[in-house]
Amino acid sequence: MTHRLEFYFDCSSPWTYLAFERALVMFDGDDLEIRWKPILVGGIFNTVNPGVYETRANPVPAKLTYMHKDLQDWARVTGLNIGWPPVFPVNSVKAMRGAFFALEHDALVPYAQAVFRRYWGELADISQDDELRSIVTGVGLDEDAFFSAIATQQCKDKLRATTDELMQRGGFGSPTMFLDGDDMYFGNDRLELIRARLDRP
């Protein structure tokens, strides 16, 4: 039986970076099709999860310290270099529109990996065209076609549609995954639960 995992993601989240890379490894060779669905997580926060902004504005110091420690623990286990970008949160709208262009050119995985790495590994501002241009050419995509595509109404509508779709399905952040329809999982640390579900007789 072939399973289907719908993976909603925004590259502006470090936990999504971890989940993206781990999913590629954990489910490699399985009878599982991953359907990548770019979203704009800020739009979700604005609509259904505004408490995120209150938490950022008034963090619990001990919890914030632990979160950074937890993130580095996961980064070491996963083999990723994750820092904290000076520009956070970042406007990821162009990068995430670009994910649709990459998807149409069979380059979603290397493109998303490059965006994640540039932002979380190199701490660059991925809202800037120069950074996106470097990413796009680095994964072998045409930069002129890329920038033309992400400026179209069609591309804008695609990103809005997947973002709205996730909220309609009960999602509230990134990464959110659905296994075989409506079995929802949220967060990097839920991949093991997906693995367990797949292994269940």
Alpha helices in 105-152 (DSSP H): 108-116, 129-138, 143-150
61 burial type by CB count under 10 A (0-12 exposed, 13-18 middle, 19+ buried): exposed
Give the pLDDT confidence of 134-147 residue by residue, as tens digits.
999 999 999 999 99
Q: What is the CA radius of gyration of the chain?
A: 17
pLDDT at 30: 73
CATH architecture under which domain 3-199 falls: 3-Layer(aba) Sandwich (3.40)
pLDDT at 28: 85
Q: What's the CA angle centered on 58, arms 123 and 40, to 5 degrees?
A: 50
Adjacent-strand bridge partners of 180? none
Beta strand spans in the chain (E): 3-9, 32-38, 176-179, 183-186
Give the pLDDT confidence of 157-187 residue by residue, as tens digits.
999 999 999 999 999 999 999 999 999 999 9
Whole-model pTM above 0.75? yes
Question: Measured between alpha carbons, how far apart are the two ends of the chain, in Å?
Answer: 12
Crossing angle of helices 93-104 and 108-116, in 10° steps, is 160
Taking the C-alpha atoms of residue 146 and residue 136, their distance in angstroms, rounded to an integer, is 8
**8-state DSSP, 58:** S
Across 154-159, average pLDDT: 99
How far, CA to CA in Å, does 104 sit from each of 9, 151, 159? 17, 15, 14
Adjacent-strand bridge partners of 6? 35, 178
pLDDT at 201: 81
Give the pLDDT confidence of 48-68 residue by residue, as tens digits.
999 999 899 999 999 999 999
Collapsing DSSP to helix, strand or coil, 185 comes out as strand
